[in-house]
Structure 1
Amino acid sequence: MTEKPSLVLVPGLLCTADLWREQISAFENQYSIMVADHTKDDRMPAIAARFLASAPPTFALAGLSMGGYIALEIVRQAPERVTHLAIMDSRPINDTPIERQRRQDFIKLVERGKTFKGVTETLLPMLIHPSRLTDDILTERIYKMAEDIGKEAFIRQEKALLEREELTGILKDIQCPTLVLAGAQDALIPPQIQREMAIEIPTAVYTEIPDCGHLPTMERPEKTTEIMRIWLAR
């Protein structure tokens, strides 16, 4: 029997494998699926190196948000091992000063607090389309992922994001079939930034999902899966 090709999925900040639940279900018969762990290290190179140490020899790689930053770092360290690359609602550039300050404030707030809520009601509008804010099933899944990640891992993740290198310089050298996917109403990472990234990657196809925020795999799972299927067939 032929061994199935590998598909690696990298979650975003405060996200677990549940971010990819529908895609895992859709692809598990065709692919050997692995969800990368991004909770143990506080530097991007270390997160990528830890993953690569236990990863299959070659694999298709998809990352969303923080997962996109990690995916690019994996490509920087081991481009020959990545057969396909999908970067979703992410970017190769560093945070703005305002975004850096927001991360530092979150770390201080969490370090001082006795309880950890992760994603609060005030943060939710940054993550999903306004029309989904009353979708209790979706919002509860988002809250549960943050709760499962927990306080200590969240602080490590934020520190890794604060210290990450800009990776614009590697984009021109990416040779594998690449998908850049954006929610058209992503409030965290404007689609324009994602389009600009796609232009720099010689093999990239850029796609936007309408009526969708920062989490297309959960907000528009069927459309996301359809786009991924086309990407993986390239």
Structure 2
Amino acid sequence: MMQDNHNTPLILLGGTLCNHRLWQPVIERLRVSHVTSIVTSGADSARELSSRLLVTLPPRFCVAGFSLGAMVALQMLADAPERLAGIALLSVNPLADLPANAVGRRAAVCEAQAFGVGRWVSEKMWQKYVAPGHQDDAGMRSVIATMADESGIETFSRQTEIAISRADHRAALAAFSRPSLILNGAYDAICTPQHHQLAAEAAKTARWLTHSDSGHFLPLEAPDWVATALRVWIKESQA
């Protein structure tokens, strides 16, 4: 793999029931020498996870978060904006979760435990995850189900609590002057185009790009496109 001379580490934060497999297609296409993929887990709130990560991460870094990972990235931005050389948000909902959603979210964890996490993702969530053009992609479906099985029910439960307790950090996004990137799929039924518009309205200097043929799982559905956008953002973040 070709490497560039960029020295600012790139931190990639995955979404719910995701692991290194989520980012692998993008990493293979990126020409960066310092990249770390982190599972968004190990805490029961975004605030707690942000605090833990900031202790272990380098003094300055670029962070790209997908879905739940984007929510944690926003928490990190609110907690330590001076540490971030740039922020990229993929498939993000920048709002706090509605209190009424908590019951349904926790019920989903119980259902996934009864089904088996991978089977639950494959049978109950698949149609919401990807664009119509990817519904028949058995390989992608298998990767997503495999990640869910590898993550397990305990991780799902803790990630659900992160989603439930997350805060609205659009004010921190608005105050951030470093390079910001917002990426979404036109068919995303989970973090909708309207959610991304709200993020873009807060981050007035951000570059907002929409992939016309993708849904929620951008890093798997459009890895070439995501890598191209991230490369430009990474270069800007070095300045």
TM-score higher than 0.5 here?
yes
Paired residues of 2:122 and 2:141 also in contact (CA < 8 A)? no
* 1:183 paired residue among 185, 202, 224: 185
Offset at residue 95 of structure 1 (A)? 2.5
Paired residues of 2:171 and 2:202 also in contact (CA < 8 A)? no
Offset at residue 203 of structure 1 (A)? 2.5
Paired residues of 1:89 and 1:183 also in contact (CA < 8 A)? yes
Question: Helix, strand or coil: the match of 2:123?
Answer: coil
1:84 aligns to what?
86
Offset at residue 3 of structure 1 (A)? 7.6
- Measured in 1, the distance between the counterparts of 2:99 and 2:55 equals 34
Question: Helix, strand or coil: the match of 2:122?
Answer: coil
Matches within 5 A, 1:91-102: 91-96=93-98, 99-102=101-104
* 1:16 paired residue among 4, 19, 29: 19
2:49 aligns to what?
47
Question: Helix, strand or coil: the match of 1:121?
Answer: helix
1:219 aligns with 2:225: no
Aligned pair count reads 231
- Measured in 1, the distance between the counterparts of 2:169 and 2:108 equals 24
Farther-moved stretch of structure 1 (96-105 vs 201-210): 96-105
TM-score, normalised with respect to structure 2 = 0.90
* 1:142 paired residue among 130, 141, 144: 144
Cα deviations by residue, 1:70-125 (Å, 9 ceiling, x for unpaired)? 000111111111101100110220234564332021133346x3843351322111
Offset at residue 134 of structure 1 (A)? 1.0
Give the direction of change, closer, same or farther, for the CA distance of 1:42–1:223 in structure 2 (3 Å limit): same
Unaligned runs of 5+ in 1: none
1:174 aligns to what?
176
Offset at residue 196 of structure 1 (A)? 2.1
Paired residues of 2:109 and 2:153 also in contact (CA < 8 A)? no
Give the direction of change, closer, same or farther, for the CA distance of 1:135–1:173 in structure 2 (3 Å limit): same
* 1:198 paired residue among 195, 200, 203: 200
TM-score, normalised with respect to structure 1 = 0.92
- Measured in 1, the distance between the counterparts of 2:52 and 2:42 equals 9
- Measured in 2, the distance between the counterparts of 1:115 and 1:4 equals 41
1:107 aligns to what?
109
